[in-house]
């Protein structure tokens, strides 16, 4: 097991390595490439506003409002891109997807149930409307 001093020295070396590549002598960000498993960007009030990373090996970007509530998500699951918009309780209310080359748009109620779903296929548009229990009311 490494001593505390060795661990601190390793961390200091890593910080210097990153600083030398990301920040110039005046403290400004500069060119170059850095790899992180997760990156968080905060505002002047030290609230997280953007988080980028991976979840289950899928890339993900999350955007937070001024209160720190997640409001927008962009991710891929496998080869399917997904854009989600969330309410103040961080429940998905709108989702845009492309799955198996079919574009989809879904609206969710305040309980998180899908109420309207539109998709566009080579054969035409499909619209599905559901009640609060998920029962299909209309499918065209």
Q: Identify which has the larger pLDDT, 68 or 126.
A: 68
Q: What is the pLDDT of residue 51?
A: 94
Count of positions (residues) in the chain: 140
Residue 2 dihedral angles phi and psi, to the nearest 5°: -75, 150
pTM for this prediction: 0.68
Task: Inform me whether the pLDDT recorded for 103 exceeds 90.
Answer: no
Percent of the chain with pLDDT over 70: 86
Contact criterion met (CB below 8 Å) for 48 and 66: no
Task: Inform me whether the pLDDT recorded for 137 exceeds 80.
Answer: no
CATH topology for the 37-139 domain = Outer Surface Protein A; domain 3 (3.90.930)
| Domain spans of the chain, in order of start | 1-35, 37-139
Q: What is the pLDDT of residue 109?
A: 92
């Amino acid at each position: 097991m490494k001593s505390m001093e060795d661990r601190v020295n390793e961390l200091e070396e890593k910080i210097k390595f990153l600083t030398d590549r990301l920040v110039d002598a005046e403290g400004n960000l500069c060119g170059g490439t850095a790899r992180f498993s997760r990156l968080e960007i905060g505002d002047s009030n030290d609230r997280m506003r953007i988080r980028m990373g991976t979840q289950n090996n899928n890339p993900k970007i999350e955007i937070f409002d001024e209160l720190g509530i997640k409001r927008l998500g962009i991710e891929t699951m496998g080869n399917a891109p997904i854009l989600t918009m969330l309410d103040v309780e961080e429940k998905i209310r709108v989702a845009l997807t492309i799955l198996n080359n079919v574009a989809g748009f879904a609206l969710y109620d305040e309980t998180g149930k899908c109420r309207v779903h539109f998709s566009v296929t080579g054969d035409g548009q499909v619209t599905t409307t559901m009640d609060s229990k998920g029962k299909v009311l209309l499918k065209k």
